[in-house]
Structure formats: C-alpha cells, structure tokens
Amino acid sequence: MVLQKRLDYGFSGFQVPAVPRSTRSARGRRLFKRKVEDRQMCAFELLATVAGDLLQERDNCAHSNASLGIAGPVIAQDTVKQEPHDKEALLKLEPCDPGSCDESVFVSDGALQGHNGNCTSKASTHVSYVEGFEIASNSDFSAKVSCVERTTKDGNQKVNLSCKVSVSACNESSSKDKFSHGIEQQLASDEQKMVNGTAQDTCSSEYVIDLDNKPPALVSSDSSAEVPFSGDHIPCSYFPKSWDNVQLVTKDDDENSSECTQPSTRTMNAFRSLSRIGDRRIRKILASKYWKVAPRLKDRELSNSETRRVFHNRKGCYTRQRSQRNSPYMRRKLFKCCSTSTCDGGLSSEDISKSLVKGVNGDEAASVSQASSSIAGQEASFQSRCSHVKLSIKSFRVPELFIDVSEMETVGSLKRAVLEALTAILGGGVHVGVVLQGKKVRDDNKTLLQTGISHHDKLDTLGFTLEPTPTPTPTSTPPAICHEDSPHLVPREIRNSSSSDKGSLQPPLGDGSVDITTTDSRALVPIPPRVEPLTVAPLQRKSRQSELVQRRMRRPFSVSEVEALVQAVEKLGTGRWRDVKLCAFDNAKHRTYVDLKDKWKTLVHTARISPQQRRGEPVPQELLDRVLAAHAYWTQQQVKVQLKQQSEQYFLI
C-alpha cells in the first residue's frame, strides 16, 4: 500500500533585519523582537502546517483501519520516550543539497530536468537559486519542502515552492515513485512586489492520494474536521517570497527603523490573508521557539491561555487566529491524546554558517547583503494519539542580512552584530565565530582592519559560524537528529543580488564602512548535529526570555576608557551615571550608564585588591589611586548629604 500525497506550500526563508546596534532602548528592542517574531512566525507556521500534514498522513497510514477520526499533531518539543509499542516516526527537516538533489523531486515543470542533478549551475540552466528542506524519516515516510527560484531568459523570475510528501504504509517503503509538484509563480521582476501581494491568485494546491485506489473512508466521514484526503483541491497556505523585497537597513534610531518595517507589515498582512485560505488545513500551529502544548489541557481556555503565554505581549492576530481556528481540532486532539508528556524546549541552533562577500559594485551597487544559515536542531515533536512524531527543523535559510560595520570596529563587535541579528531569530544559545580564510579569528579586540577584513579586500573568504553555546546539562540525543548523511554542510549556491534585490533600500555607506554581501553559503566549521536539552521545565519563563535577548558581547574597558571614566566621576561624583555617560561616553554607543556604574564598581574593587589578584588588561596604579580617592570623596559627600537630610527631618519633627 503506497500512499502519496502532494502538498504545496510556499516557504520563504527568513530575512533577517539588521539589528540597529545602537538600539539599546527597551522600546527599540521590543520593536525589533516583534519584527523578528513575526517573521519567525510565518516560517514556523508553514513548517508546522507541513508537519501537521505529515503527521496526518502518517496517521492515516498507520491507523487506516482504526476509527481515530482526525488526530493531528500536537506540536511540542519532546524528548520523552514513548512506550516501545508506540509507533514513532522520526522526521527530519534538513537542507537539501542542491548539488545532489534529485531535481525531479522538486521541480515539476521540467526546468531542471536532465540537468544532471546540479540544480544551481547557471551555465546550463537558468536556475539561480535552489533551496530545499528535506523531511525525511523512517521508512514509512518522507517529505521534502523546497523552493526553487530561477530566472527566465526574458528576465522574469519564477519561483517554485513545493512540499512533497511521500508516505508508504504497512512497511512498504518502496514509494520510489515520488510525487513532485511545484507552485510556479511568474514574477515579473520589476513588479515582483505587486505580484507577490496577490500571490494567492496563482496559488494552487492539490492532494493526490493513491491508497490502494481506495479512499480512506474513515477520514472523510469526519466532516467536521479537516479532510485532507477528500481529493478536493485544497487551498494551500502560501506566502510569496516577498520578504526578499523587504530590506531592513540598520538605522540608528527607532523611528527610521520602524519606517523600514512598512514593507514587512504589508507582507505579513498579505500572508495573513493568505493563510486564512488554508485555515482548515492548519491544524495546530505553534510558532517561535516556545512550541509548547500541554497535552493534558482539557479545554479551549487553557489551550488559549497557553497560546497567549507563548505570544505574551503581542496583540497580533496570531493569537486570535490560532485560538479560534485551532481549538476545535485541538480539543479533540487533546481528549484523544493518550500521552501525558508535557514538553517544552528551546530552539537550539546547531550550525549556522554563512559567508559574506563584500559588494564591490561602486556607488550604485546594491549594497544588499544576503546571508544564509543552516540551523540544525530545532526540534518539535508531534503527538498524535499514541503515535509520536518528532520533527526536527534542520535548517532554514536566512536570505538577507545586512551588516554595516566600520573597519575600525572590532572583530568582537562584528560578531556581535551578526549574533544579534541571528540570535534574535534563533532565540539565543548560539555563539558566533568569525572565520577568515578558513581560520577562526579569535582576537575579538582587533579591529576589522587589523584582522584583514577590509573594505578593500574581497570578503569572500570571510565567514561566520554559529555554534551552540555549550550547555552543561547533558541530554540524550534523539536519534532522529543523528543522521550521518546529513548533507546540510554542503555548499549551497545562493544567487547574488539580482532582480529581487533591485527594489531594496540602499543602505547608507558611511565612511569606512564595510559593505558585506553574502553571495555564498557554506559551512566552514561543520558542527556535528546535537540537540539542546529539550526537557525544560514547563514554567521556566525566565530562561526563555533570556534566550530571546542575547547577552551582549563582552567588551573590556580599555585604559583610556577607564581614564575617561575616572575623570568624569571625579568631576560628577558617583550616582550620576547618566551624566557621566553623557559627559565622557556620549559617543560610545555600547557603554550604557549601567555599564559605567558597573565598571566603577569593579574599578573600586580592583583598586582594593592586590595587583596579583587583578586580571585583564592592567590598569595603571595611578588611575586606581584616583579611583579610590574619588570613591572615598564622593561616598563621604553622600554621607554628608544623608546626614543633612536626616537632620532636616528631625528638625521638621
């Protein structure tokens, strides 16, 4: 018995807005976080939808004779091992290696046919960009989500977005005749934005079922639920690759950056309206890294509150949409679910790599950057009835990332810029490394110029690695993640800024700024797949929040900074840190008044301990003496003021 199903989805990777590095205000951070979350949501919604379909498919295979009705997935991160008799399908989303992928799997229109498997060679085809995610699993089951973008000879752009699912049941894993299809969208490059806005018109989706030529009656009898096997054309949830048109450029103030979110908002609205079309197929969607569903929840309210907590301070329509459209399904699901495992977990990015290449095109060069990342280790688990499916999102692509860093900035600040942009999406737990000419750049304090990352040099040897920050808690690695044949480290061709980039904003190129454009993506430091501990206690909100905002890069104070600080404190005293900041560190965006206060604290401490105990760059004793003197003086002043106030109070009494 072989069952085949075709799904069509649009999947557009993330476009990472460059974090306004100077945005230190709470509001700025909130805005940015929300911006990122929105995007994250889109992608995860899509993936969750895909996953839901997969699970559905799988269930209908596995229990084709059971009267289970519709039992869809509960998406949750779960490492809980189930009873041995439970059928457990392990899904895996991993990047498709375009060099080795079977293009017939991806492309339906023959554009890539006969191309010897190399989807990205521009020489023989006009395909400019291929991206895919493979959802592979045990022998029952396999699926691929892919995106193929190519440019036709007349300059138009076509995008194929598809998700292919192949399911075989009853141990018959011979579903070699995989089905493939793609949504093709004809995009005139000049009007791409507009076309994308009305993408639903061109969107079509279809299920093809071949289950021993017999429709699965059990499902279609349940009319109140989604009926994926109805054979009807079911609208897909599709959103176009229009994020590529949204260029977010680093701006130093929130106002400007919020202006940049305009196109993004438009896109999101487009998506929302689109996704409504496919509502009934989106059964359970949990986005963000806080995929969480407590299977024990017994009613909609709880379920809603759960959702709300996930998307706490956001009023977006996600919450409403989800609650409404999912709750009927969820209720049923929850009652039926025999599992009691409550799962939660963070997103762990295992391996993100990208290379950046400087755009050297002169004045009118599209100083747009692209970055591609492959992130491994996001894992969600789907529970359905007694079956448990683990889905691990092995990779997704971050198509656009603009970084504008001065040559005089340090390597550390570059790392930080990248880190902020990416970890905001990944949710932290990652560490950025800079690789130049294959070698890791370890000295964070050197400037980019000193390191050789220069405006004048080709930056194609510059790369970044993202590694998971080591977690002390050892966890067993779910077997699904440990596929040795993961092709996700193979270089992937990313098209250079082409038509879709023309409409993007031109980032201002200040003096000495480095314009970094990613044209290539390759993992420079392969990281063996590993999974973050997922058995996080359900109510650890604190750690979640800290995951969202990445810890700032450590930036030790230089002697000159200490000097400036000491001088300012001598003048202004302790306790006026805002003034100190304005007086002496107004230009240092990365030093907040809290930082200065903290530094003074450590300076006082340093001055009091013996020189042998001191660490880091030695501070001249003369400065430390001044620290002690100033500290003594101003604390005395404070005491005086306090005494005076006290006496005034007594006087009043």
Partner DNA sequence: TTTAGGG
Partner DNA sequence: CCCTAAA
Binding site for DNA (CB under 7 A): 25-27, 542, 545-546, 549, 551-555, 574-579, 590, 593-595, 597-598, 601-602
Nearer to DNA, 254 or 379 (CB): 254
Number of alpha helices (DSSP H) and beta strands (DSSP E) in the chain: 15, 18
Report the chain's C-alpha Rg in angstroms.
27
Smallest separation (angstroms) from DNA to the CB of 574? 6
Smallest separation (angstroms) from DNA to the CB of 542? 6
Can you tell me whether residue 468 is helix, strand or coil? strand
Smallest separation (angstroms) from DNA to the CB of 548? 9
Measured CA to CA, the distance from residue 509 to residue 514 in angstroms comes to 8
Smallest separation (angstroms) from DNA to the CB of 318? 24
Measured CA to CA, the distance from residue 395 to residue 383 in angstroms comes to 22
Measured CA to CA, the distance from residue 127 to residue 98 in angstroms comes to 11
By C-alpha distance, which of 368, 322, 203, 196 is closest to 266? Answer: 196
Smallest separation (angstroms) from DNA to the CB of 31? 11
Smallest separation (angstroms) from DNA to the CB of 260? 19
Measured CA to CA, the distance from residue 109 to residue 103 in angstroms comes to 11
Measured CA to CA, the distance from residue 297 to residue 294 in angstroms comes to 6
Smallest separation (angstroms) from DNA to the CB of 605? 10
Distances (CA, A) of 432 to 296, 353, 441, 545: 38, 9, 11, 20
By C-alpha distance, which of 356, 413, 425, 653 is closest to 555? Answer: 413
Nearer to DNA, 103 or 595 (CB): 595
Smallest separation (angstroms) from DNA to the CB of 28? 8
DSSP codes, 220-258? HT-TTS--TTS-S--------GGGGG------SSHHHHH
Residue given tokens 């006496």 in the structure block? 647
Measured CA to CA, the distance from residue 284 to residue 52 in angstroms comes to 7
Nearer to DNA, 149 or 254 (CB): 254
Nearer to DNA, 124 or 543 (CB): 543
Nearer to DNA, 75 or 630 (CB): 630
Report the b/e string of 478-493 with b at 16+ CB within 10 A. Answer: bebbebeebbbbbbbb
Nearer to DNA, 117 or 575 (CB): 575
Smallest separation (angstroms) from DNA to the CB of 35? 18
Nearer to DNA, 186 or 545 (CB): 545
Q: Which residues pair with 144 in a beta bridge?
A: 134, 164
Provide the token pair at 13: 């990777």
Find the helix or strand (DSSP H, E) in which 434 lies: strand 430-436
Nearer to DNA, 370 or 574 (CB): 574
Nearer to DNA, 272 or 555 (CB): 555
